[in-house]
Amino acid sequence: MASFGKRRIFGRVVVMLIMILALAIGGLFWFDYLGIVDAKSFFAPALRLAGIRTRTGQALAADTPTLLDDERFSKQLDAVDAMRQELAEREKATAERQAAVEAMAQEIDDRTKTLDERENSFRQMAERYENRRANIEQNARYLTGMPPADAVKILEASDDQTVIDVLRAVEEIAAKTGEASVVSYWLSLLPADRSATLQRKMNAKPASLD
């Protein structure tokens, strides 16, 4: 029974010691919060293991008149550093988005230039077609007004496509004016093989000025 009583007293002593130690540590952290002592520096290794931020630099002297103000200022500096880091991250994200927007704008600009080039090319082709058609019609009228033998000599010296275009232009002009076409007569004056080739190509290929 005596030994049992001693164990109970020993247990109470241990509990009291733990409570006193806890109160002492809590009091140190409370004084640290008030800026009276620097407890976090002493417990810095354990706090870092627990993932809790600790102070860096040298502790302020206990007799510093502006101890509390300096502590508040230090905390404000920490807050400013955190805000600065957040702003830097936001600026980085903004720069990345800006780069993406500029890349899209460049792609749109390139596509627009490509479309403009295609449009210009098509316009030039259309102008060349219209100019060629105008020249063909002018030549057709010019040849129609010439003696047939002279007109046939000029046609005989031209390439097949040019002759075909002129003959079709002559037929179109005759159809519009209601006059008789001289195409058949010109073909009869051309060499037989050339005339047959021209007629075969005119029947096989649709009207074209290309």
pLDDT per 10-residue tile (average), the chain, 210 residues? 58 80 72 61 57 53 59 79 88 90 89 85 75 85 89 90 90 88 90 90 66
When divided into structural domains, the chain yields a total of 1
Distance CA 55, CA 37 (A): 12
pLDDT of 193:
92
Distance CA 50, CA 53 (A): 9
pLDDT of 38:
60
The residue segments making up the domain with residue 19 are 10-59
Sign of the CA dihedral running 189, 193, 199, 202: negative
Q: For residue 95, give the nearest of 106, 107, 87, 85 by alpha carbon.
A: 87
Contact 160, 191 (CB under 8 A): no
Q: What is the distance in angstroms between the CA of the first residue and the CA of the last residue of the chain?
A: 125
On whether residue 26 sits in a domain, the answer given is yes
On whether residue 20 sits in a domain, the answer given is yes
On whether residue 191 sits in a domain, the answer given is no
